[in-house]
Amino acid sequence: MTIERGPQAAQAQHVFEVPAYDNQTVLDVVSWVQQNADPTLSYRFACRVGMCGSCAMMVNGVPRWTCRTHISKVLEGNAVTIGPLRNLPVIKDLAVDMDPFFDKWVAAEGVHHGALTRDDPIPPVDAASPARVEANAGIECINCSVCYAACDTVAGNPDYLGPAALQRAWTLLNDAKDTGRVAILDAVSNKGGCHNCHSMGSCTTYCPNELDPMTAIAGLKRETAKSFFKRRR
């Protein structure tokens, strides 16, 4: 196993011989290195069952959730290369600073916009309405940043909000309980907004939960274009 460490990760490759077992994930192998070969190796994980979104790393150059990726799936001639997530600053070894990712989540108005108090009745949610179906398609995001690391537009344009934040904006726009429509449309129309997306689709290809941020972003482009003509009148 080759591990790319540090800010100039590609120039700091450390090679480790690791035992092969029938059942082990990429995260298991990284953990084996940390526990048995080099205790100074830093990496991040929590749940180990694909729910918390903290263990994403570059595996042979592509972003993956390492706790749910079987090592046999990614071996190339009995070897594998692990690096820190792309498009985010490296703190140490395989741990990246997720702040830019979550800051953009907020910048895209990925927050709840409520207008009711505890005394108001709970608004009904029609599970079959087209808007709810759109919202449901994107709400299983685990914030792992795999799509953000996969996105070539983020790589070339650091201001771009990225697929995860824009997909959350899209789910909130379609949420009957959220009243932030104008704020969301304004936030995703700014210079780092949804219109920078080139629809290359790496987000949708690599999302470990098989979500479709590219289609969500296309929805935002459609809605902002509609509101562009409405507001002009």
Complex with other proteins: residue 60 or 157, whichever CB lies closer = 157
Tell the smallest beta-carbon distance from residue 123 to other proteins (Å). Answer: 29
Query: Which residues does residue 63 pair with via DSSP β-bridges, in sequence order?
Result: 58
Interatomic CA distance for residues 88 and 44, integer angstroms:
14
Binding site for other proteins (CB under 8 A): 153, 156-157, 159-160, 189-193, 195-196, 221, 224-225, 228
Complex with other proteins: residue 21 or 228, whichever CB lies closer = 228
* Token couple for 72: 């046999």
* Token couple for 211: 């979500």
Tell the smallest beta-carbon distance from residue 195 to other proteins (Å). Answer: 4
Interatomic CA distance for residues 47 and 39, integer angstroms:
21
Interatomic CA distance for residues 122 and 102, integer angstroms:
29
Q: What is the largest CA-CA distance in the chain?
A: 68
Tell the smallest beta-carbon distance from residue 193 to other proteins (Å). Answer: 7
Tell the smallest beta-carbon distance from residue 225 to other proteins (Å). Answer: 7
Complex with other proteins: residue 110 or 193, whichever CB lies closer = 193
Complex with other proteins: residue 112 or 198, whichever CB lies closer = 198
CB distance 2 to 14 below 8 Å: yes
Tell the smallest beta-carbon distance from residue 224 to other proteins (Å). Answer: 5
* Token couple for 134: 């759109």
Beta strands in the chain (DSSP E): 2-4, 13-15, 56-59, 62-65, 81-83, 90-92, 95-96
Complex with other proteins: residue 125 or 225, whichever CB lies closer = 225
